[in-house]
Chains A and B, each alone.
Chain A
Amino acid sequence: MTVSVRIDQASVEATDLPLMSVRSVSKFYGQRIGCADVDFDIWPGEVLAIVGESGSGKTTLLNCISTRLTPTAGTVSYRMRDGEMRDLYGLGEAERRLLLRTDWGFVHQNPADGLRMTVSAGANVGERLMAVGDRHYGKIRATATDWLGRVEIDADRIDDQPRAFSGGMRQRLQIARNLVTAPRLVFMDEPTGGLDVSVQARLLDLLRGLVHDLGLAVIIVTHDLAVARLLSHRMMVMKDGRVIEHGLTDRLLDDPQAPYTQLLVSSILQV
C-alpha cells in the first residue's frame, strides 16, 4: 500500500527521491495493536497529515517513525544530508539523537513536554545551537531574538521563562526552538490541541507561512480535519491502528471513499 503521489506545486521543493520511507511498520502492545502494516513515503517540502480518532494509533505511528518508540516490525529509512538512505534503527543511539536535535524537530501537543520550563525563552531557542557547538553568546542571542520575532513573540520577552507565557505563546516558542537548526523534517503531535479557536487560527497561519518559506517536510498528527485541510498536501486516515485511506487532502476531504472517512468528514460541525 505504498503511496506514491507526487505533489507538483511551485511552492514545494520537489525532488525525485523521498526524504523518508516507512515500510510495513507495526507496533504491538502485547496482544493489542498500536499500529499495523503502515507504508508511506514523504518527500522534501511536503506536509503529510495523519488523522483519525483517539486511540487509532496516530501517535504510536508518529513515535515509531521519529525513533521515540521502537516498532515491533518494519523499517523506517531516512535520507541523510549526504544523500544516503539509512535505516533509522540501524543507526547508533548517538547518531539518532543527533538527528533528533539537528535535522528533525518534534512539536509536542503540550508545550511543557518540549520546552525547558525553568530556563528563559532565549535559552530555550538557543539550546540546540549550543548542543551543536555554538559557543558565542552574542550570536546565539541574536539568532534567538530573530526566531522569537519570526514566531511573533516580542523581543523584550527573551529573558522570561516559558511559564510566564500563555498557551499559544508557549506553542510558538516550542516551534521556534525546533526550527532554529533549520531541520528538514518536523514531526507535530496535535500542535493546536488545547488552544482556543482564534489562537489556533493564528498559529496555523504562522505554521503555514514557516513551512512554505523554509520548505519543511512535516508529518502532523491531528484529529482536527480543519488543521489537516489548511496545512497538509496529503492525508492518511487511520482507524484501529491501520491506514484505511490516503491521498491528496482536497480529494480526500471532498470525496471520501472509505465509510469511516465519510463519517469523519460528515461529523465536522458546520457553523
Chain B
Amino acid sequence: MNAHTQVSNYNFAYLDEQTKRMIRRAILKAIAVPGYQVPFASREMPMPYGWGTGGVQVTASILGPDDVLKVIDQGADDTTNAVSIRKFFQKVAGVETTTSTEDATIIQTRHRIPEAPLQEDQILVYQVPIPEPLRFLEPRETETRKMHALEEYGLMHVKLYEDIAKNGHIATTYAYPVKVEGRYVMDPSPTPKFDNPKMHMSPALQLFGAGREKRIYAVPPHTEVISLDFEDHPFEVQRFDKPCALCGAEQVYLDEVVLDDRGGRMFVCSDTHHCESRQAAGHRGEMSGEVLS
C-alpha cells in the first residue's frame, strides 16, 4: 500500500499522537508488571465494542510505517473482523499487510495463537472482551483489585473445583486462567486452552487490549505462564481424534464444519494460513480434492 491510497485526513494509524503516547505508557507499565491490568483512557474507535476496539488501539499505538500487519479472527485471515481491521490499517496507516505468520511483525488476534511458532521480533496483540479473570466469581471491581493486590486467588480454584464436581474433569475450555511469572492471575482472553502452553516462555511479546473495560496487560517475552490446576487433576489441552481433513495436520487446533443435515462433518485447521501453507507444501487430508494443474 502506498501513501496515495492512505486517507490523508487522519494522523498515521488513526489515533492522535497524544493518545498513542498515553497508550504506550500503559503498555510499558503492563510489560514492567507482567499480568497486571493497567487502566488506560480507552478511546471511541470507528467500530463497535466487542469488535476489537482494545486490540486496535494497542496495534495503532505500536505500529510503525515499516511494520507488516497480520490480523486473524478465530485463526482465520479471511473472516469479516480480520478483513475489516486489516483494511482499516491499510487505509489509515498505509502499512503492508500479510496473511503469513512468518512475515508479520505485528499480529492482531481474536482468540487464537498461530500454529507456527512466533519469533523474537514479533508482537502478538490480543483483543480482550473481559480482562478480569475473577469477574464471574466476584462482581465488585474494588474487591477484585484488592484480591489481585493481596494475591488472594483461592477463588479461582473454587471455579475449577466446581468444574470437576459437576463434570468429573476441568471443563473450562477457553479463557482458561493462568498465573504469570508466579504473581498475577490473568485471563488469556477467550483463546482455547489449547493455546495456553504457547504463551509460556514465548519469545514474542504478547499485549492484551480491552477497549470497553479500558485495561491493557502484557506478557513480556520469555515469561512463565502457568495454567492453574489441581495436583490430582492436572491441566490438559484438547485432543482431536482425527487430523485436519484438508492438510492432514496433527497436534493443531481444529474447527468443526457441518457439511449437511445428515450428520456429515469435517474437522479442519482453525489457522487458515497454517493449513494453506501445508497444502501448498503438498500435504493432503482425507477430504482435500486434487489440485488443478
List residues of chain A with CB under 8 Å of any chain B CB: 93-94, 97, 116, 119-120, 122-123, 126-128, 130-132, 135-138, 140-141, 158-159
Contacts and interface: CB of A to CB of B under 8 A. Distances in A.
A123 B162 CA distance: 7
Interface in B114-159: 146, 150, 152, 154-155, 157-159
Nearest to B230: A137
Interface residues of A: mostly helix, strand, loop or mixed?
Answer: helix
Interface string B61-73: 0000000000000
Contacts of B166: 120, 159
B267 interface: no
Given A126-B158, A131-B155, 17 more contacts: A93-B146, A94-B150, A119-B158, A119-B162, A120-B165, A120-B166, A122-B161, A122-B165, A123-B158, A123-B162, A123-B165, A126-B161, A130-B155, A130-B157, A132-B154, A135-B230, A137-B233
B38 interface: no
Q: Which are the 6 A-B pairs with shortest beta-carbon distances?
A: A131-B154, A130-B157, A137-B230, A130-B154, A136-B231, A94-B150
B150 A138 contact: no
Contacts of B233: 137
7 contacts: A119-B159, A119-B162, A122-B161, A130-B158, A130-B161, A136-B231, A159-B166
Category for how many chain B residues contact A: 10 to 19
A127 B154 contact: yes
Contacts, number: 52
B233 to A, nearest CB: 5
A137 B162 CA distance: 10
Given A97-B150, A159-B166, A135 B158 contact: no
B161 A137 contact: yes
B176 to A, nearest CB: 16
A172 to B, nearest CB: 19
